[in-house]
Structure 1
């Protein structure tokens, strides 16, 4: 969430480096010790000036009391009393200046211990012990990065703004961070910030999620894939993306009818995520869909389910009774979509393709 370049606040020579590169540091830990001797000298000088001015102030205060008594007896002129009172005021101001100089000297002395401004991980050291460092050094001493919690930045099309804003208004919006290939979930957090403007060049909106990162699986400036749960569709019909075809009239799928004939069904897609799509209209759930070789299928053409990995029946020879019974059982037990192919008398492609593939897609909540 935060990244700080640690720089010295006083100039001087580094006596000690007290942190280890790549290791955690706590807020207030001393990272570097700068030679404190010049600042001790300045502190002692300020303390000496304060003692001197305090002594003179006390002397003038005592004189002022005496002269005020003499004035009451008309033994001294009022001008002398006023002069002594002015000297008392001058030394009171001098004492305050001396106190401020002592505080400044103590602050400069404290700055000789360069401390961590936040909890985080120390980066690569930029300087070694013995070097002279200055406040104006561009690279600083070390960069400290806070990695727990981690901040994940990602963008969404501006068309999704309304749904994200509504979800955020309802409560916490979960966000999952995945590896770059999308195969491994690294951490889960929640949406923290919705940017206040849309990028005009890309028509996207920037979002920020805070993710616990105690295991340090997320690293600063690393690329991840983010998934955000905006809305839950109950009893939704979910189909694989590979089953969806596009035509002049829009999206459609091929379903296998009870008589093993291909049926073209127009559909509307409500949502696409990963390798699946949520169907808004066109399917009732439980249909057996063709997922491979759709270019070989025509509406009303006959197809025959084939379990993936099993040898297809020889041309002209129908599958035996046992094969027909095992097909649905393998389909339901393994969860893999069974393949279908044209029956005898239809043209078959040459090569390794076994023909169209169908699968039962039950309604998934």
Structure 2
């Protein structure tokens, strides 16, 4: 193969299933040029990935551009249909798999894993052209006719397991609310001891009261924010004050802290041991901050007088739990639980809440 008419990459050769594959470092500027993505050109039977979800691209692009000195992308995996040659730098046993990978200019490349990364890189280069000299690792599989690309995609994703949202929050050191949420948990003894930082839902035998994502989602509702939005110092102070007072006001939580009941009994007997409760309080807390900024603490203290028993059908049936007694957390049940809490602590309902409550009452009748 004439090197003048080929792509040339320093590469490492590997063996899987008795077949060669290659890992090369590719400058970001050439990624959009060699890895074309045209859904109309490639028929479904030869596509190796699902259709590009364009809604994901702006977020990924912003991630690169906003963290230009601290972003991380995993490898792109691609099939190559065309002439491909690997020439070792030398034949020594310890370096015969290091060499030059040459791929014909007329070869077809099809991404098996990383199409959204490729699209985000293309957009990021438009905003920050200086990124072009940086590199991303690309794993090349030789695949005549692109016949194996779908199986490669399937195999790559066969054993993939997404991390839980709690772990995502735990490991996120960029998102301001993630940092604040973890700081609150560390500062409040009850949350420190009884927050599960890995799971998103707790089993009946879990030794914890809440999961990290429950607290984070509650904070989003408290502040009326979306993930990634700016958090002010006043926002941060309010969230911390809210959780400090809440942890002192829920008698059942303190009964667990004082070893008077255990977490299993809490979940089995009270709605305060479930996410629907705290996220509903996020809705109530947001209202209090907007309309009772001077005396909101008085309303939170009233929570200690409420009957949170799961046997209290008149208060919580159809809201926090269904007719089978099963706790249910949906956007609707969160809103209905928040409405009931507002009524119990003497807060008026908004027009939207009145409409939701009327629909609920008609359904009960």
Bigger strand fraction:
1
Please indicate, yes or no, whether the TM-score normalized by the shorter chain is above 0.5: no
TM superposition score normalised by structure 1: 0.25
Structure whose alpha-carbon radius of gyration is higher: 1
TM superposition score normalised by structure 2: 0.25
Bigger helix fraction:
2
